[in-house]
Structure 1
Amino acid sequence: MKIAVAKEIEVCERRVALIPDIVARLVKQGLEVLVETGAGDRAFFSDAAYEAAGATIIADTARVWGEADVVLKVSPPQERSDGSSEVELLREGSVLISFLNPLGNPAVAQKLAERKVSALSMEMIPRSTRAQSMDALSSQASISGYKAVLIGAAALPKYFPMLTTAAGTIAPAKVFVMGAGVAGLQAIATARRLGAIVEAFDIRPAVKEEVLSLGAKFVEVKLDEETATAGGYAREISEDSRRRTQELVAAHIKTADVVITTAQVPGKKAPLLVTEEMVMGMKTGSVIVDIAAEQGGNCACTEPGKDIIKHGVTIIGPINLPSSVPVHASQLYSKNLTSLLQLIIKNNAIQIDFGDDIINDACITHAGEIRNSRVKEALQTVVGAG
């Protein structure tokens, strides 16, 4: 059984699918691990470290992908510089495990199905107690929340903590976190550690206790509709509910020094939480860090991948924040992947058991077909729009 670790070719991706410590454990289990030359370089894991762990280092990309029974990646398959696609490198009947963005870009799922690849999407891991160790969205979102606060603190022309000095007392910064999922909760905790006064908002009332437990004030809105999916994610809300929400948070945004926005809906454009009018009402020198920039942004002024100043406010739209902490991001992701591998590899052979709810939800293509209904719907929408 051969497990391959592919080198990421996306420009901004510094993570690697497996770190050497995890490779050593897989080798001890009797699995052969192939690592593409330089796969871990940008995450500070050398080829020598992989070799010491028992991996075989291979320079030929086509060989790494073509010989593998299971290919592990971070980013979805990309188009290569020579015009070919990484999907074409996969052997028919092999397994691909990666972030695949199947709801946002279902065309990738179509290509994988045509290639007769069994593709497991890390975004589709169910939110259940049993699947916690495989929940890569959560492990990576935690890093995003942490790093967003550090970016905000660095950009703010003020201290975060309260300071009492001979020259006078400095009041603590006020941080407003919008969205109290995994990223938001980590942002709250990090901002509190840095000494800021923190308020947090989320449309899901169930997260109130978690926010309060971290020492933040919870800003609550009463809505007459369900605001969370069965999996615990925020649900897309009606236009009326969105208007009421914006009216409530406007006053809190106005007094904040740093606003961290984290609200995302899988497969959808990020909800608009901060209008340009709200930005105009903020204090000069304030900062917005929009974690949802890749999905269009929670702020009307966000430009993905750019830092801009508008109406005296610095608006930062970071892309792929987990990649900026590649050592620990890779470590956590490696654990997520190997936990999932244990489900599909039995007695040194691949067993895709659709009776297992985790595999059933995560496997989006198998035997030449797209088997996930949500991905099929997303693909039909794209085709219809085209």
Structure 2
Amino acid sequence: MTAALGPAMRSRPFHRIGLAAEHLSPENPDGSEVRVALAPAAVSALVRHGCAVAVERGAGEAMGLSDALYTAAGATVETRDALYRDKDLVIKLKGPAHHDLARMDPGSTLFCMAHPLSIPERVEVANACGVNIVAMELIRECPEVLTDSYVRSRLAMRDLLAAVRGHAAGDLSVALIGFSDDAFGGLQYAARRRPRSLRVLRSRPAAPATVTVGFGELEEAAARIAAARVAAYRDRRPPRPYGRRRIHCLHETGRAGARFGIDLALRNGHGPQAPDDLRVCLLGYGNVAFGALDECVRHGVREIDVLTKRATRRPHLLRYLRSSDLVINGAEQPPAVRGTRYLVTDDDLRSVLRPGTVVVDLVGGCATNRTAVEPIVESTHPSRPCVVRHGVYLASVWGWPLLGFARESAERYSRQITDVLLADERLIDGLAGATAGILRALVAGPALGLRPSSQPMALSATL
């Protein structure tokens, strides 16, 4: 049981900051994780704020960020042993090895991707040592933030679907042509209307679907929506208490997983020889699935079936699984049904999926925190990204962006972490006045007493 925080410790802002390097750990057993949580520019921002920042020797080396760049930003360079001691806050991308965590001072705080459901031992060690853990992956917008571009895209899609006369939304088969970064809201609106089918095509089909929408057409419709209508939309729909993750690289995760799956499906010698021959089905339509969709279109995949809740019900789902060369799971299920409800089952490997089919899981998990793909119990790692069972290739890499997007994802993480520390959430001011979004992500340590009893701990399985 953890001891209560004293008044001085509760009110103390974070001043002595340590930036740790990645080493072998429960989440990094093969040493493939080499990214660093903060770039030199982020360290410089912390130093200007008045923080004393120490960086572990060689922390950014694999990203081309030398110790000299960090010292030029105002940091000191320390050994691994020293880095975890005498710090108020230690920042690390993935959770550290348990013996590193045990080096930290009681009452100090670790800020990392903690994954408490997947690695509960880390929480046990932290509680025993009196160390607080704030899990980066569990911090969410508080309240939800919907950008103007997202709202306009949703409204534009609603207008375009409403213009199809004589059909209820659930009777429509919708085809979206091309891809646009600003079309996320429109895609989600179409998916949530539970159409008969939802496809993303590289070009317009010879035999049009019931309604065919080009992403360019959607952007034009969105541009015509007046600011007053966007404001009215917000007035009618108050933001939810919590929105999407604040620290993530879900788009890069989706792109990396889809790229790996496409390349594997083409080189395994079981069928398609070119991207436009691939049959791809995508389970889910959230941020990580949108990244996978982006990569499929970039690669020249001719047709992607986006499976909504309606399409993932059996026997509808079986039809897609039987005909697909590549199945990409981007659907993250609620914690209550993980391990009891699956979209792709063990039986599907034997009797539904054809030999040579590639199944890519973008969500990830482990034996204590299952994904929607039953055959995948433990996530793989970049050094051995896939396994084969019954002739089906299964991949669920812990750290997908390492396969092609390491630098981009590290830069995104650095910007987002800096924002959480110094901007909206002001985590740098300490845990005493932390926002509700931060307190939901507090998963271990004596500061747990700061979280109101009505405030649940956030839960997530996403990599």
Normalising by structure 2, report the TM-score. 0.61
Partner in structure 2 of residue 273 of structure 1: 343
Aligned-pair distance for 1:275?
A: 2.4
Partner in structure 1 of residue 373 of structure 2: 299
Partner in structure 1 of residue 321 of structure 2: 253
Partner in structure 2 of residue 122 of structure 1: 136
* 1:189 aligns to 2:208 (yes or no): no
State how far apart, in whole Å, the 2-side matches of 1:5 and 1:147 are.
26
After superposition, residues 152-301 of structure 1 pair within 5 angstroms as: 152-157=261-266, 158-162=272-276, 172-196=277-301, 197-203=303-309, 220-221=310-311, 245-265=313-333, 269=338, 271-279=341-349, 280-295=351-366, 296-301=370-375
Aligned-pair distance for 1:353?
A: 0.9
State how far apart, in whole Å, the 2-side matches of 1:318 and 1:336 are.
23
Aligned-pair distance for 1:69?
A: 1.6
State how far apart, in whole Å, the 1-side matches of 2:449 and 2:275 are.
51
Deviations 1:70-106 (A, max 9, x none): 1101122323xxxxx1221111222221111223334
State how far apart, in whole Å, the 1-side matches of 2:447 and 2:418 are.
25
Given the superposition, is the C-alpha separation of residues 40 and 113 from structure 1 closer, same or farther in structure 2, using an over 3 Å criterion? same
Partner in structure 1 of residue 110 of structure 2: 96
Aligned-pair distance for 1:134?
A: 6.3
Q: Could you tell which deviates more after superposition, 66-75 or 267-276?
A: 267-276
Secondary structure in 1 aligned to 2:65? coil
Partner in structure 1 of residue 148 of structure 2: none
Letter of the aligned partner of 1:286 in structure 2? T
Partner in structure 2 of residue 166 of structure 1: none
Partners of 1:44 and 1:327 within 8 A in 2: no
State how far apart, in whole Å, the 2-side matches of 1:147 and 1:298 are.
19
Given the superposition, is the C-alpha separation of residues 120 and 293 from structure 1 closer, same or farther in structure 2, using an over 3 Å criterion? closer
Query: Which residue among 124, 138, 141 is the counterpart of 2:250?
Result: 141
Partner in structure 1 of residue 259 of structure 2: 150
After superposition, residues 307-326 of structure 1 pair within 5 angstroms as: 307-324=386-403, 325-326=405-406
Partner in structure 1 of residue 20 of structure 2: 6
State how far apart, in whole Å, the 2-side matches of 1:308 and 1:106 are.
26
Letter of the aligned partner of 1:124 in structure 2? L
**How many residues are paired up?**
320
Letter of the aligned partner of 1:200 in structure 2? V
State how far apart, in whole Å, the 2-side matches of 1:309 and 1:104 are.
23
Partner in structure 1 of residue 204 of structure 2: none
* 1:24 aligns to 2:44 (yes or no): yes
Letter of the aligned partner of 2:408 in structure 1? H
Letter of the aligned partner of 1:64 in structure 2? L
What's the % identity of the aligned pairs?
Answer: 23
Partner in structure 2 of residue 241 of structure 1: none
Partner in structure 1 of residue 123 of structure 2: 109
Partners of 1:96 and 1:117 within 8 A in 2: yes
* 1:43 aligns to 2:63 (yes or no): yes
Aligned-pair distance for 1:251?
A: 0.2
Q: Could you tell which deviates more after superposition, 181-190 or 26-35?
A: 26-35
Aligned-pair distance for 1:258?
A: 0.9
Aligned-pair distance for 1:293?
A: 4.4
Q: Which structure would you say has the larger Rg? A: 2
* 1:57 aligns to 2:70 (yes or no): no
Letter of the aligned partner of 1:46 in structure 2? S
Secondary structure in 1 aligned to 2:331? coil
Secondary structure in 2 aligned to 1:89? coil
Letter of the aligned partner of 2:88 in structure 1? D
Q: Could you tell which deviates more after superposition, 176-185 or 99-108?
A: 99-108
Secondary structure in 1 aligned to 2:327? strand
Partners of 1:134 and 1:335 within 8 A in 2: no
State how far apart, in whole Å, the 2-side matches of 1:17 and 1:37 are.
14
Unaligned runs of 5+ in 1: 80-84, 163-171, 204-219, 222-243, 379-386
Partner in structure 2 of residue 67 of structure 1: 86
Given the superposition, is the C-alpha separation of residues 370 and 88 from structure 1 closer, same or farther in structure 2, using an over 3 Å criterion? farther
Given the superposition, is the C-alpha separation of residues 46 and 267 from structure 1 closer, same or farther in structure 2, using an over 3 Å criterion? farther
Given the superposition, is the C-alpha separation of residues 265 and 106 from structure 1 closer, same or farther in structure 2, using an over 3 Å criterion? farther
Partners of 1:145 and 1:185 within 8 A in 2: yes
Aligned-pair distance for 1:154?
A: 0.9
Coordinate RMSD, CA, aligned: 3.0
Letter of the aligned partner of 1:263 in structure 2? A
* 1:360 aligns to 2:439 (yes or no): yes
Letter of the aligned partner of 1:21 in structure 2? A
Given the superposition, is the C-alpha separation of residues 195 and 351 from structure 1 closer, same or farther in structure 2, using an over 3 Å criterion? same
* 1:327 aligns to 2:407 (yes or no): yes
Aligned-pair distance for 1:252?
A: 0.7
State how far apart, in whole Å, the 1-side matches of 2:42 and 2:387 are.
40
State how far apart, in whole Å, the 2-side matches of 1:321 and 1:291 are.
8
* 1:86 aligns to 2:100 (yes or no): yes
Aligned-pair distance for 1:144?
A: 1.6
Normalising by structure 1, report the TM-score. 0.73
Deviations 1:37-59 (A, max 9, x none): 01122333222222222221112
Partners of 1:2 and 1:31 within 8 A in 2: yes
